Amino acid sequence: MSNRVPLRRRRRTKIIATLGPASSSPEVIERLFRAGADVFRLNFSHGSHEDHAARIATIRALEEKVGRPIGILADVQGPKLRVGKFQAGRVQLQTGQSFRLDLSPTPGDVRRVQLPHPEIIAAAGIGTTLLLDDGKLRLRVTRKREDHLETEVVVGGPLSDRKGVNVPDVVLPIPALTEKDRIDLDFVLAQGVEYIGLSFVQRPEDVVEAKAIAAGRAWIMVKMEKPQAVENLDAILAEADCVMVARGDLGVECPPEEVPLIQKQIVRAAKALGKPVVVATQMLESMITAPSPTRAEAQDVATAVFDGADCVMLSAETAAGQFPFEAVNIMDRIIARVESDPDWRKLTDANRPAPEPNSASAIAAAARQVAQTIGAEAIATFTSTGSTMLRVARERPSCPILGLTASMQTARRMAVVWGVHPVTTVELHSMTDMVAKAIRAASQEGFATSGDEVVVTAGVPFGTPGTTNALRVAIVK
């Protein structure tokens, strides 16, 4: 890999691209990577294990070809709450009418339909709101019995077989992981993916359960898509490895005017903890069928960058859209343009969280300050688990972060982290060895040339996680 042409991004904020029918071939996946995708998402709501295994193999082959670590996000489905079927396949509900949700599997009509989730019936109360078909229809519970709910249709419309149900008002006694999810987890953990996307999180206990299954083999990326998760934000973030602002279901269950504020709240909280945060869903939605985004969508991507998100994500745009390459390309261009603006730098500096009261955070803060003062070309961080890179990324330095690690797993995980250019190297043996490897990497990766300065951080003794305590300034010769 040392003889390859260096491939580096000219931006700090990372991009996740979802793979699907429009983007499964090796040629398209490579094109998306070269256009700017840092991480590829596999959506386990669709596709077989064989399909996903083939995509993982393609990504790993591409990784070997280009000599760059690439992250893989396996997004498990989570529980899907749906109504049953109708005699005619669909009905038209009128505003103000009564409508029953019950446990009977008999096909429904305009008066009733099966709700095959006794947990919802048990948890609902008089006045509870039920949203159907991504919030297009709204029901209010008027009477409750052990085996059914009587509701009033507040907002009517067409309702067809197996449409989704959202219950924003209550915490449902439903685990975040279904039996399907557990089977999928066994599969993806054996495949060695970097991140698990955890859906339907309501409580920190949901995260604890997933982390116990992962057992350190992958980071748990919590998807914030339930009002209850937002209410438990601090406790959930304390358990999560990284977090996603999943604005799809969040936009169904929360009033639309609240979603932008919730996005900023989650991004701010994650940044304060130094945990990677992804902003996702409908970022360039019009590009599913159009070769360029709307101005509002460009602004949406820019807002996430100004807020300080580590990563932004494309879903259907690259999975099923007609212009997957163009979507990644324009997202890359929007990010790069925002990050070149002086106001972005001023805002980033103004919103920097205070260092945590420990030596590792103090070293990371000092590295950022020293690099800025001397005009260093990069901050080179050595780490075994990624903790040093996360601390330096939390500082949002003005120069790139060269993340050096002997662990390919750690290097791949850093693909989602703001500003980090991950590189695999051999284990360190001395401080002299550390400086030499940092200088060599900075030169080989295209960050610095002769006479340039690089700030170097590491932990001594080497290879011991969580011991960031050394800082050096090195000159490239």
The residue ranges of every structural domain in the chain are 14-78+175-340, 90-166, 359-475
Average pLDDT, integer, range 180-198: 98
Look at the alpha carbons of 56, 60, 66, 67 in this order and tell me if their dihedral is positive or negative: positive
For residue 377, the model assigns a pLDDT of 97
Average pLDDT, integer, range 244-271: 95
For residue 3, the model assigns a pLDDT of 46
**CB count in 10 Å sphere of residue 456:** 25
| Cβ atoms of 328 and 29 closer than 8 Å | no
Measuring CA to CA, which residue among 86, 87, 88, 112 is closest to residue 98? 112
For residue 376, the model assigns a pLDDT of 97
Tokens (6 digits) for 475: 């000159």
| CATH code matching the domain that covers 14-78+175-340, chosen among 3.20.20.60, 3.30.930.10, 3.40.50.620, 3.40.50.10420 | 3.20.20.60
The CA distance from 263 to 266, in Å, is 5
| Cβ atoms of 81 and 117 closer than 8 Å | yes
Query: Is residue 421 predicted with pLDDT exceeding 50?
Result: yes
| Cβ atoms of 326 and 290 closer than 8 Å | no
pLDDT in tens, 59-87: 999 999 999 999 999 999 999 999 999 99
pTM listed for this prediction:
0.94
The CA distance from 149 to 122, in Å, is 9
Look at the alpha carbons of 349, 354, 359, 362 in this order and tell me if their dihedral is positive or negative: positive
Torsion-angle region of 156 (φ positive above 0: left; ψ -120 to 50: alpha; else: beta): beta
Give the CA dihedral 77, 80, 85, 90, nearest 10 degrees.
-90
Confidence of residue 349 (pLDDT cuts 50, 70, 90): very high
- What kind and span of H or E run contains 298? helix 295-307
Among residues of the chain, what percentage have pLDDT more than 70? 97
Q: Angle CA(137)–CA(142)–CA(146) in degrees, nearest 5?
A: 105
The CA distance from 95 to 107, in Å, is 22
Contacts of residue 34, defined as CB under 8 A and 6 or more positions apart, other chains included, come to: 7, 66
pLDDT in tens, 453-477: 999 998 777 666 666 788 999 999 8
Give the CA dihedral 41, 42, 43, 46, nearest 10 degrees.
150
Query: Is residue 259 predicted with pLDDT exceeding 70?
Result: yes
The 10 Å CB-count burial string (b at 16+, else e) for 243-271 is: bbbbbebbbbbbeeeebeebbeebbebbb
The architecture CATH gives domain 359-475: 3-Layer(aba) Sandwich (3.40)
For residue 151, the model assigns a pLDDT of 98
Q: Angle CA(250)–CA(255)–CA(256) in degrees, nearest 5?
A: 80
The 10 Å CB-count burial string (b at 16+, else e) for 421-431 is: bbbbbeebeee
Least confident of 256-265, 414-423, 426-435: 426-435
Confidence of residue 2 (pLDDT cuts 50, 70, 90): very low
Q: What is the DSSP letter of 16?
A: E
Q: Which residues are catalytic?
A: 41, 82, 223, 281
Confidence of residue 7 (pLDDT cuts 50, 70, 90): confident
| Cβ atoms of 218 and 194 closer than 8 Å | yes
Confidence of residue 1 (pLDDT cuts 50, 70, 90): very low
pLDDT in tens, 99-148: 999 999 999 999 999 999 999 999 999 999 999 999 999 999 999 999 99
Q: What is the DSSP letter of 355?
A: P
Please give the class, per CATH, of domain 90-166: mainly beta
Largest CA distance in the chain: 80
| Cβ atoms of 395 and 375 closer than 8 Å | no
